[in-house]
Structure 1
């Protein structure tokens, strides 16, 4: 079952942004319904804490912005720069009150903060969360992707992100009008809808038995104590 049907408004995917830059050397910001200036976008990269932690601040200083395009001709594009670009675009779209969808591992609290901010502004928020029962499944799928020419992710990072994401799940659900939770543990890529949660607390279970990750990350936290 594909999930393309839920993509609303401007679609932001850091992986696709990275591919765009690797192919042509620049990111066309205007393609994402955003208008900006060198005085706004370049300092955003220069002061990025993520790029600072990755030791990429000096490279960020070599970025250029002209004619609505962020040039990476003097910079080697990677997942860190793609993540910062997506963050910048999300902030601008939220500021402009433009509907958008984005993909994320959701392993850092800033994604929860984004949902919270959107609701404070009066926007409706939706979460489509896909998980597996064990990070080893994710590791195996990344290895399969690499064998087909896709990008790699260190095994330790996959495992760490897996747990951090599940730990943040209910915090994110709290700031959604509707959350749809899917299990993708089985071979073949078939996604099973597990539950639907309305207004952060009204849970409707869609399958039985429940996946283990769902029991731990959601069911145990949303059910009242006996």
Structure 2
């Protein structure tokens, strides 16, 4: 069986970390989950936001180390940047299977509210403007950069706190489960 890399994607507050617990351990049996937020809290539990850049570097080093050892692993990202596209393409070329799970919310305001709740519970803060900027860019990058690299992809509507599959597919196949929500997901993408 080829090694697998699992990408848990979606805007801040979409529920990636929460979904990872069941998906990675129970469903996919992926032993290693690399999360920059957890790394940042480990570096400075009182000010994890101040450790974001350092945590990101540590995360990248861990990801590259796992890939060099050809291990199965997972990580989470907003997909708001192109950071991982080239690297995932090279992993595929080296025999990795890429699984992409995207958790979507109907509006950036919901993400902002969820992040605020997380902060009240001791979680890390993300500025409202950053969330708004990332929201449509994340969906755009899903379509333009990351979905074409995925051997398997699934998109969930996580607006109401319980994941609801809206579409899934592979590199050359797309199956829509909920047309209405899928079209709303597509429209939430900004085409620059």
Pick the TM interval, shorter chain. Answer: 0.7 to 0.9
Determine if contact 1:169/1:217 at 8 Å carries over to the other structure: no
Q: How does 1:1-226 map to 2 (within 5 A)?
A: 2-7=19-24, 8-22=30-44, 78-170=51-143, 171-186=145-160, 189-198=161-170, 200-216=171-187
TM-score by structure 2 length?
0.77
Q: Give aligned pairs, total.
A: 164
- Provide the rounded CA distance (Å) in 1 between the counterparts of 2:78 and 2:104: 10
1:94 deviation in Å? 1.4
- Provide the rounded CA distance (Å) in 2 between the counterparts of 1:9 and 1:116: 22
Q: Note the residue ranges of structure 1 that are not aligned, 5 or more in a row.
A: 24-75, 219-226
- Provide the rounded CA distance (Å) in 2 between the counterparts of 1:20 and 1:108: 24
Higher CA-based Rg: 1
- Provide the rounded CA distance (Å) in 2 between the counterparts of 1:144 and 1:212: 28
Determine if contact 1:21/1:77 at 8 Å carries over to the other structure: no
1:208 deviation in Å? 4.3
The alignment's C-alpha RMSD in Å is 2.3
- Provide the rounded CA distance (Å) in 2 between the counterparts of 1:104 and 1:96: 22
Residues 135-193 of structure 1, C-alpha deviations (whole Å, 9 max, x = no match): 1111111111122222211111111111221110022010111001111122xx11111
Give the 3-state SS of the residue equivalent to 2:149 in structure 1. coil
Q: Note the residue ranges of structure 2 that are not aligned, 5 or more in a row.
A: 1-17, 25-29
TM-score by structure 1 length?
0.66
Asked which structure has the greater RCO (Cα within 8 Å, sep 6+), the reply is 2
Flag as ranges the 4+ runs of structure 1 deviating above 3 A.
none
